Amino acid sequence: MQLSFPDYLIISLYFIVVLSVGFMIKYKIKTTNDFLMSSRSVPLWITSLAFISANLGAQEVIGMAASGAKYGIMTSHFYWLGAIPAMVFLGIFMMPFYYGSRARSVPEYLALRFDDKTRSLNAVAFAFMTVFSSGISLYALALLLKIILGWSFEFSVFTAAGIVLVYTFLGGLTSAVYNEVLQFFLIVLGIAPVVFIGLHEAGGWEGVAKNLPQSMVHTWKNMGSASDNAMGVNWWSMAMGLGFVLSFGYWCTDFLVVQRAMIARSMSAAQRTPIIASFPKMMMPFIVIFPGLIAMALTNAGSDFSLPLKPDGRTDFDMALPSLIAHYYPSGLLGVGVTALLASFMSGMAGNVTAFNTVFTFDIYQAYIKKNGTDQHYLMVGKMATVFGILASIGTAYLTSGFNNLNDFLQLVFSFVNAPLFATFALGMFWKRTTGHGAFWGLLLGTLLAAVFHGITLSEGDKGGWLGGPVYVFQSAMGQAFAVATVAWIGCFIITILISLVTRPKEEKELVGLVYSLTPKLKESKSPVAIAIVMIVLGLILNLIFF
Amino acid sequence: MKKLTDLRFIIGIFFSLCGLILLLCYFLSSQNNHPEMNLYAGGLMFLFGLVMLLLFYKGDVENA
């Protein structure tokens, strides 16, 4: 891919604007609350777009296009079955507790609802995961830029990390959130033309469908058995593993996204943030998955475009979107497309770093290292945590480049940790009898159970089975991952209940505002229920259209 | 008072300029690779940028 002057001009313009945002917001940052919580004063339209943009990182944009090319429209289950119901649930049922408790982070809610050990477990695991996710994102960016533009690994890593560092260090969360909204529009407007051109070249949706296996253009039709579809997952595993456990676990408990709703101006706005965000979210498959389907269809049709191959001769699905952009975009639009890819990586990285610095400052440093510091002291710690987060991300990027399997290993560990978390929150918010001991041991043993289950099952020849002869062989690694998540969730749920029943719960007066049955219901003039119903219905319609 | 830190202003300026660059690419250069896409995408971005700038000038400070 050869960039010309207009392309570099657009990339430079983008860098100038994102850095300017940091310099302009800098003057608004006076306190820790400004830096880490945006003073809880961000308008609804910004929190809603930032909510989905924080998740619109490299794995989403590049990964979903790759998955679209490999598995087809079934990939949309991550959106229409997983994300939409979970985001609506978060808005209706969980935000009242996150926002109403005035907790500054998800781990801090755990401290209020349960105890400090549960908070520490979640905070340390989250801090570790965000830094490593950010590093993996940086590594993927550098690898992509090396392949498509020939930029050196060092140049890509230090340029991207340096820019994210400057604007997050100067403007904190507000700066990151503002840039996330800009990045959202850039990603949509920068990638949508490739769908338009691709569909035109392929002969519309009919042309795409004609050149793909029938199982790739239906969401549900081939899910009766795992062997009937390329994903190797049946409907039950999809609904329970992805639709319930993993999606609710991520969208309802991951501070990276929940933080965007927690900085809204009011409870009503905080509740509506994920619900309104669910509308653009349900449209994202047309931007990020369709390019994969189009790339595969054009390749099968024998057009002048074909998906590139890896050195070992296998199709390189990860290059579906970049290769379409390189093939079809003229100079100028190519600059917008490359900037959109850059934006997706930087958005993901900034999201991770701003969530990390908040959790580190409030849930690790203030909770265990220095309890009674001044506000200016914690502001300084927040800024130092930002620098550390970026440096650790760079370190992880280099580590990942040196160990081929590190990325896979870390993704696996993250799934073990995330899966049981929703069980802890669901019990904590809706069953007042749940105790701190129950939550802590449920989380810990649920995670351990996930690891053991992965160790005794196998997929794709070498995934799992590290604890000896497999007791079950899955059709695909994805099917195995969904099953691992389900086992972890059920394990955590049962263990938490059993231990809670034999340990002493908190006094009811301590749980007001933290548990559903003990929290007075507010009559709000702007109830989010009506709009939530509309979003669920729209999600159902999309499922039916591509059934 | 309108502030430069209003996100609508930042988005408006960025996309207006991006749109202009793409429109200039369409009118000033001869390319074989779907040159009309610079016109369509550039026009759309330019319009989107103008709408955001209009919202900035007409909108209230509360939504900044």
Closest chain A residue by Cα to residue B18 = A10
Question: Which of A215, A223, A251 is CA-nearest to residue A93?
Answer: A251
Residue with tokens 């790339």: A295
Distance from CA of B15 to the nearest CA of A (A): 8
Q: What is the pLDDT of residue A44?
A: 93
Residues of chain A neighbouring B12 (CB-CB closer than 8 A): none
Tokens of A137: 């994102």
Cβ(A496)–Cβ(A426) under 8 Å?
Answer: no
Distance from CA of B3 to the nearest CA of A (A): 10
Q: Which H helix or E strand runs over A119?
A: helix A116-149
Closest chain A residue by Cα to residue B25 = A332
Chain A interface includes B24 (CB < 8 A): yes
Give dist(CA A224, CA A219) in Å, integer: 11
Chain B interface includes A41 (CB < 8 A): no
Give dist(CA A427, CA A500) in Å, integer: 10
DSSP codes joined into one string, A210-270: HTS-GGGS-SSTT-SSGGGSTT---HHHIIIIIIIIIHHHHHHH-HHHHHHHHTBSSHHHH
Q: What is the pLDDT of residue A403?
A: 67
CB contact under 8 A, B15 and A185: yes
Question: Across the beta sheet with A463-464, what order do the strands follow?
Answer: A463-464, A457-459, A472-474
Give dist(CA A297, CA B19) in Å, integer: 30
Nearest to A332 among B11, B21, B48 (CB): B21
Nearest to A24 among B5, B21, B24 (CB): B5
Helix (H, G, I), strand (E, B) or coil at A143: helix
Residues of chain A neighbouring B41 (CB-CB closer than 8 A): 189, 193, 333, 336
Which burial class, exposed, middle or buried, applies to A311 when counting CB atoms under 10 A from its CB (0-12, 13-18, 19+)?
exposed
Alpha helices in B1-64 (DSSP H): 7-28, 36-58
Give dist(CA A148, CA A448) in Å, integer: 40
Residues of chain B neighbouring A263 (CB-CB closer than 8 A): none
Give dist(CA A10, CA A338) in Å, integer: 9
CB contact under 8 A, B37 and A13: no
Q: Report residue B12: phi and psi, to 5°.
A: -60, -50
Q: What is the pLDDT of residue A501?
A: 96
Residues of chain A neighbouring B34 (CB-CB closer than 8 A): 197, 328-330
Specify the DSSP class assigned to residue A464: E
Give dist(CA A274, CA A350) in Å, integer: 19
Residues of chain B neighbouring A336 (CB-CB closer than 8 A): 18, 22, 41, 45
Residues of chain A neighbouring B7 (CB-CB closer than 8 A): 46, 178, 181-182
Q: Which H helix or E strand runs over A472?
A: strand A472-474
CB contact under 8 A, B33 and A328: yes
CB contact under 8 A, B22 and A197: no
Distance from CA of B18 to the nearest CA of A (A): 6
Give dist(CA A515, CA A536) in Å, integer: 25
Question: Which of A43, A349, A355, A24 is CA-nearest to residue A170?
Answer: A24
Q: Report residue B6: phi and psi, to 5°.
A: -65, 125
Residue type, A426: A
Q: What is the pLDDT of residue B1?
A: 45
Residue type, A209: A
Q: What is the pLDDT of residue A286?
A: 94
Residues of chain A neighbouring B30 (CB-CB closer than 8 A): none
Residues of chain B neighbouring A178 (CB-CB closer than 8 A): 7, 10
Which burial class, exposed, middle or buried, applies to A46 when counting CB atoms under 10 A from its CB (0-12, 13-18, 19+)?
buried
Question: Which of A287, A260, A285, A209 is CA-nearest to residue A90?
Answer: A260
Distance from CA of A10 to the nearest CA of B (A): 6
Chain B interface includes A185 (CB < 8 A): yes
Chain A interface includes B49 (CB < 8 A): no
At a CB cut-off of 8 Å and minimum separation 6, what does B37 contact? A193, A196, A197, A328, A329, A330, A333
Chain B interface includes A13 (CB < 8 A): yes
Cβ(A542)–Cβ(A80) under 8 Å?
Answer: yes
Chain B interface includes A16 (CB < 8 A): no
Nearest to A329 among B37, B45, B48 (CB): B37
User: Which pTM was predicted?
Assistant: 0.91
Cβ(A44)–Cβ(A269) under 8 Å?
Answer: yes
CB contact under 8 A, A13 and B29: no
Q: What is the pLDDT of residue A3?
A: 84
Helix (H, G, I), strand (E, B) or coil at A309: strand
- Which residue of B6, B34, B46 to mutate against A (max A Cβ within 10 Å)? B34
* Rg of chain B in Å (alpha carbons): 14
Question: Which of A465, A454, A378 is CA-nearest to residue A416?
Answer: A454
Q: Within a 10 A sphere around the Cβ of A379, how many other Cβ atoms?
A: 21
Chain B interface includes A544 (CB < 8 A): no
Question: Which of A92, A95, A64 is CA-nearest to residue A320?
Answer: A64
Q: pLDDT tens string for chain A (547 positions)?
A: 688 899 999 999 999 999 999 999 998 899 999 999 998 989 999 999 999 998 887 778 888 898 899 888 999 999 999 999 999 999 999 998 899 888 999 999 999 999 999 999 999 999 998 988 888 888 888 888 887 788 888 998 999 899 999 999 999 999 999 999 999 999 999 999 999 999 999 999 999 999 999 888 998 888 888 888 888 888 988 999 889 998 998 899 999 999 999 999 999 999 999 999 999 999 999 999 999 999 999 999 988 888 988 888 888 888 898 899 988 989 899 999 999 888 888 888 899 999 999 999 999 999 999 999 999 999 999 999 999 999 999 998 888 777 656 656 666 777 778 788 999 999 999 999 999 999 999 999 999 999 999 999 988 887 888 888 788 898 888 888 889 999 999 999 999 999 999 999 999 899 988 998 887 776 666 678 889 999 999 999 999 998 9
Distance from CA of B63 to the nearest CA of A (A): 6
Tokens of A5: 């002057």
Distance from CA of B17 to the nearest CA of A (A): 9
Chain B interface includes A248 (CB < 8 A): no
Cβ(A299)–Cβ(A70) under 8 Å?
Answer: no
Residues of chain B neighbouring A332 (CB-CB closer than 8 A): 21-22, 24-26, 29, 38, 42
Question: Which of A467, A468, A464 is CA-nearest to residue A479?
Answer: A464
Give dist(CA A87, CA A79) in Å, integer: 10
Distance from CA of A373 to the nearest CA of B (A): 31
Nearest to B63 among A14, A28, A43 (CB): A43
Residues of chain A neighbouring B13 (CB-CB closer than 8 A): 17
Helix (H, G, I), strand (E, B) or coil at A528: coil
Distance from CA of A332 to the nearest CA of B (A): 5
Helix A529-545 to helix A267-288 angle (10° resolution) is 10
